Amino acid sequence: MHICSLANGEPFTCAGIQFKMLLPRDVTDSVEAVAEFIRPDQASPIDRHPNFDQLFFILKGEGEVTIGDESSVVGPQTIVFIPRNTNHTIRPLTPDGLEYIYFNVWGRGVPQREQGWKQAYSQIHNRRMGEAVAEL
């Protein structure tokens, strides 16, 4: 059993954005839940994931989410589905920023599970900071 409140998630920073790990991929082998806090002067980098689908559940604030060529304004209690291999980004529209939980869902199990979530996010951070890293 794994239970974690938003308040008790393990905080970490990746590419200048604040996160809290709520449900690590290491525990489930199929899904990961992470809280993300984007300041009003930030946006998530344009990203796409070849190995998993992603869901955003908006907690606080409003934002503009772009998936592929489509954009939409989203607010609290909204869920957003992002299919694998689809470019996406989200940016806050409110002065307090944007808070949401994202769920990474691997339909065939987490690849490279043995490396653990901290190693995976370290590689993501390095890639976003300009180093070449394999897709996770």
In this model, does residue 39 exceed pLDDT 60? yes
* Contact between 71 and 105 (Cβ < 8 Å): no
Structurally, the chain folds into a number of domains equal to 1
Q: Is residue 32 part of a domain?
A: yes
Task: Please tell me the predicted confidence (pLDDT) of residue 135.
Answer: 40
Q: Is residue 132 part of a domain?
A: no
In this model, does residue 40 exceed pLDDT 90? yes
Residue located via tokens 């449900």: 23
User: What six digits make up the tokens of 76?
Assistant: 């609290």
Q: Is residue 113 part of a domain?
A: yes
Q: Is residue 13 part of a domain?
A: yes
Distance CA 29, CA 134 (A): 19
Q: Is residue 18 part of a domain?
A: yes
- To the question of pTM greater than 0.75 for the whole model, the response is yes
Domain that holds residue 71: 8-117
Q: Is residue 1 part of a domain?
A: no
Q: Tell me the pLDDT of the chain averaged across its residues.
A: 88
Task: Please tell me the predicted confidence (pLDDT) of residue 130.
Answer: 53
Distance CA 27, CA 42 (A): 30
Per-residue pLDDT averaged across 4-25, rounded? 93
Q: pLDDT of 64-120, one tens digit each?
A: 999 999 999 999 999 999 999 999 999 999 999 999 999 999 988 887 655 677 777
**Looking at residue 53, which CATH number applies to its domain?**
2.60.120.10
Our CA angle for 97, 99, 101, nearest 5°, is 155
Per-residue pLDDT averaged across 8-17, rounded? 91
Distance CA 49, CA 39 (A): 23
Residue located via tokens 């869920």: 79
Q: Is residue 17 part of a domain?
A: yes
